Each structure stands twice: as structure tokens, then as C-alpha cells.
Structure 1
């Protein structure tokens, strides 16, 4: 249970951090989409470990193999299966916690729910699983590109260092530095903070901001399947995510209705809004404006300092941090946020098209 996402553009991921491979099946991708393999690989490269001094030094190439659903470079409409083999798993790094529960990890809850757990890198609970999401998200992005929808994200905050609002930034510069913040001055401060935290054998959290442009009016379903609700579920399903807000979010609670309301105007033949506190979604349905949202990531739970915990028998123990881990997850989380957003929009677009056919 819980390994699939989406209704018509549906994915199912599989595999563990230290298993033979991870992967994903994509069911419902329309036929005829040109699947640019260089683009798919570039998306995986943005997420893969070992990118810089501020990421984990695990060395995984994350080379993918397409096993089905593609013929002569185009999707056939059949299920697309993608496999990514694990190459640099060092399971011995985790032997010391085989019977111990690491603070703020899934060790204890997995043990109680299933009666056993794969302690090697967290097994299925590892963020390694998100590589499969990024592969699927890359295909969703290629599909969305064909209908004029663009999905982007960037690091907007690390600790207490924040970037300006997305409307004041050149998002095309996101990949110009290792922290993936399009404002270089802010990026330099973020990198300095992450590096100092790493040297202190600690970790720190941050925020990734997502922007979706070109979304057609009408995506989303009333009541329980609202567009923002599904985006929230998608983001909260990502490892280490602790919060989601869209549009004005929590800041909107400090405003009055007269300040917050997005008044409608006519521009040519289009209905637009003067402001966009709604974040491109009203009544759970896209209104054609930019959809923008923030995703909060906690500090990585594994730290290189001793922590107190208990073992399977309830005995008090000391857990020592070992292995290769990110001091801050947000730089590598950017393509994951994009992937999940793309999957949500692709799915709702397919649902909308199916409604027109009924």
C-alpha cells in the first residue's frame, strides 16, 4: 500500500536504498510523447548524490534503463518501466544501528508496523526512492512542455537565510550555483551556512519554492480532490518535508480581505487578476495565473554526533552517526519538488481531458 501516486497519469515506485535497484512504472502516459533521454538523465543528475561539498558523497551515477513503453523514442501509451541500479551502497555503514532506533528516522515506526525493517540506509524509507519519482517527473515535464506548461523550483531559504520573492528573481539562474538559489548573493550566504553546519557535524533545514506557469484554467476537482490539496499531498509525501503552503500561505492570515482579494481584470480576450494571493488556484481549481508554493524541509535526521536512543529491547543506547549524508537536503530536493508538481498537473490535465470525452 502507498507505493502509487496519481489517478490517470499514475506512477508506482519500487526498490530500497541498498537493494539491487530502484525504479518506477508509469501508467497512463499518452502515446506519441518524444522521450528525450538526455533530458531525463539531466533531471536525475540534478538529484543524484555526490554533486558538491554540500551534499552526501555517496557516488551513484543514477543511469536509467527504459524497459518498456517506448518505441523509436516515443511513448507507446503502454506502461513505461524505468530501472535505476544501485552501484555505491555501503551497507556496513549501517550495521551499528541494526538493533537501534535512530532519532527522527522511520526505524521505530517501520519496526512496529511491519515487525522487521531494512536498516541499510533506511531501506524503503530512504530518500533514495525519490530518484524514481524524478525519472517519472521528467516524463511528466516532457508531456507538459508539449501543452505549454512549465514547472520550476529553487531553494528560497536555508536556515534563516532567505531569497527574494520569485517575481523578483531570474529563475533561469537556478542552476548557476551548487545550492540552486537564483540570487547569487543569497546563494553565497546559504552555501557558507551549510558548509559551517557540515563542519560542525550537524544539519540544517530550508525551503524550496515551486512555480508552475502556463497552467490552463480548470484543472482540479471540487471538494476532496482540489488541485492545491493534491499538490500538498504530493509535497508532503517527499522525505523530510514538514510543511506546505501555496499562494499567500500563512502570511495571508495577517492580511485583511480587502488586501488579500485578487480583483479580476480583462486583458485583451483574457480574464486575469491584478494580484495573485490565491497562488493560481481558486475553489481548488486553477485560474490560469502562476501557481506558486513553498515546501519546508526539516534538518536531515542523521548527524555526526552521538545521540541517545533505545534498542529493540528497550535498553538505553548511544547512536553514533556514520556513513554519507547531506548536511542540508534542499539543494537536491529541487528536482524532486518539480517532479511531484509535474506529476500532479499531468494527472489533472488527463482527468480534465477524460471529462471532455464523456
Structure 2
């Protein structure tokens, strides 16, 4: 089972949704990165369950316990390991899913792949619960990037079938007011009115025992030009690979994305200009990446998130023991929409991918070495 990813900065995630604990190990973090644990906790709470009426009723404190790799508030060069204990589990809700798999979930392919030895409780290793340790690693990566004045910002661009807002993240320059709006609105969206409409849409689906998906837009500001590689280790490749580790993600696009297919070259090309001693573009259809390498413009991309497959409506399935068709009604506590909680997870995946690329290229600015204190007698 591939639960590790990364080159110079390598992440491994372990645990299952209802195991005693879940956690991560991050190898290759440069020594000297200052880690604010209160800030990290705040980041994790944006993803944590049970915080609003649009998420699952399962409530977990999601307080990480750092086991290694951190000394006096700084990374020390050793692998950083952390765990989060699982405390609010109801495994009995999942007993029947080994026999009658959920449509839209990994129950059946996991049954075949692992010969019925897989853990079905809470979705096991396939659960969105495993995005909590991803956010530990990604939250630390965000702090490392912020020390270089690189900011990763994401919000909900679309929720459900109707596009209720045309508001997008600034694709040419960092706008801190957008970041403030995302953190203060009813749902993490830069448009307050759209956030309220999205909230009502989630509650409507919840009331009908159904679920909705959406699109998360992410932008990175301050990424220097010239980082990345062509072909298979390009920045798009790295970001997409980590993002597809988020269980509900079904699509990723950069810049104009699929919309570029409808443009002519004269429309899609971003004109280069000199401005204040820097080379910039006047548009950003490329999404800040060309040939797998950063252009110096904001990196802009989007992730499509499917509706939560565990819904309360009756669904068609198969009884694997009897080999015949069966009805299924899913029990337990599930998100009517995973999109709001996935916003910080998208930020985490992006931050890790970019930190890995920066360290790979020797472009990460390692903090100054600590000085030795001297005493006089």
C-alpha cells in the first residue's frame, strides 16, 4: 500500500479511521524551521469534524502529539513524527458494509484487492479521516513557506450543480483581504453572499439524506520563478499527485485548465512584460507554471471534489455473500458535503508539494543557524 510520497521532503501517513491513532512521519524537513503549534492547531481545526451543521456529527479534538523532530519550537533535522488519537468512533455502524458495499466508495474494490482483510470501520485507510495527519505535515509546510513570504490560499469556488459566485482568487497578486474573508465567512469562500447560499445548499441536501460536491480553487503567492522540472516531476505533477491522495478528489486543473481548449493561442498566451525590474505576465492562463517550472506568477489551480458517497437514501448494491442484488441504507455519521473541510486539506497538499520542490532545487532559504550563548565568570 503506497502511503508515502515526496522526494527531498517525504511524507508517510499511517493508521485507519477507527484505529487507536492516525499519524504521519515527515522526513527531510530542513532544520531550523520555526513551528507555531497554536497556529498549527488552528489550521487543523478548520478541517476537524463536528464543528458545524454542514459536517459529520463525529467530533474529534484533533490535537496532534509531536513525537519527534521538534526541539525548542524548531525542526531539528530528524524525521518529524506526530499522531492524533481517535476517540469518537462507532465501528458497529459499519458492520454490514463488508458484505454489502457502498456505491461510490472503495468498499468493493478493497474487498477484491485485500481478500476481505481490509478494515471497513469508518472507511479504514480509505477514509477522509487520514487527511488529518496530511494537515499536520501540510500545516508545518505552510509555516515553512510563509517564512519565505510564500502564501497558500484556497476557497470554495463552486458547490453543488449551480455556480452561485463568479468570485475568484486574484491570479496576479496576493490580496490579504480575500484570505481574511475566507476565514470569516459562513463557509470558506471569498464571497460572503455565496457562502450563505452554499450553506443553505448543503443543508438542503442533508435534509434529503443526500450530499453535494464542489470545486476548490487554490492560489500560491510569492513562489519564485525557476522552481520545478519538465516531464514527470513538474510542479503540476507534484501538486496533483498529493491532491489525489485526498479521497474525494476526482479532477485537477491549472490556470485556464480545460477552458484553454476553447481558446486560440493568441487568447491563451500570457504576454511577458518588464515591470519594476521583474518579468511578469499581464494575464495568467498558465496558472503560474510553464513546462513544469514556476514562472514567478501566482500558481492557480482547482480541485473537483465529488459528493460524499455515504448517504442516507436507499441505494442499489450487491450482497457479496449471497451473490445477489441487495438494497443498502448507510448508517452512521457522514458529511453531507466534504468540500468545506477539504479546503485546508487542499492547502496542505499544495504546500507540501511546493516545499518538496524548493528543497529539491536548493531554493528553500534555510533559517540562519542558532548562535551559541556565551557566559562570563
* Corresponding residue for residue 253 of structure 1: 261
Contact 1:30/1:77 (<8 A) preserved: yes
Q: Distance in 2 between matches of 1:30 and 1:355?
A: 9
Q: Distance in 1 between matches of 2:164 and 2:251?
A: 17
Task: Look up the SS of the partner of 1:167 in the other structure.
Answer: coil
Q: Distance in 2 between matches of 1:258 and 1:237?
A: 36
Contact 2:186/2:192 (<8 A) preserved: no
Matched residue pairs, number? 356
Contact 1:220/1:348 (<8 A) preserved: yes
* Corresponding residue for residue 352 of structure 2: 343
Contact 1:219/1:285 (<8 A) preserved: yes
Q: Distance in 2 between matches of 1:279 and 1:105?
A: 32
Alpha-carbon displacement from aligned partner over 1:161-220 (angstroms, at most 9, x marks no partner):
343122298232101134211211111111111111110110011011001000011111
Q: Distance in 1 between matches of 2:285 and 2:180?
A: 23
Contact 1:15/1:21 (<8 A) preserved: yes
Report the RMSD for the aligned CA atoms in angstroms: 1.5
* Corresponding residue for residue 338 of structure 2: 329
Matches within 5 A, 1:256-275: 256-275=264-283
What's the TM-score, normalizing by structure 2?
A: 0.92
Change (3 A) 1:22 1:355: closer
Task: Look up the SS of the partner of 2:122 in the other structure.
Answer: coil
Contact 2:13/2:130 (<8 A) preserved: yes
* Corresponding residue for residue 4 of structure 2: 4
Verify: 1:278 aligned to 2:281, yes or no: no
Verify: 1:166 aligned to 2:158, yes or no: no
What's the TM-score, normalizing by structure 1?
A: 0.97
Q: Distance in 1 between matches of 2:266 and 2:179?
A: 30
Unaligned runs of 5+ in 1: none
Q: Which moved more, 1:95-104 or 1:282-291?
A: 95-104
Task: Look up the SS of the partner of 1:51 in the other structure.
Answer: coil
Q: Distance in 2 between matches of 1:312 and 1:67?
A: 42
Q: How many angstroms does 1:354 deviate by?
A: 7.8
* Corresponding residue for residue 369 of structure 2: none
Q: How many angstroms does 1:355 deviate by?
A: 11
Unaligned runs of 5+ in 2: 172-176, 366-377
Task: Look up the SS of the partner of 2:60 in the other structure.
Answer: coil
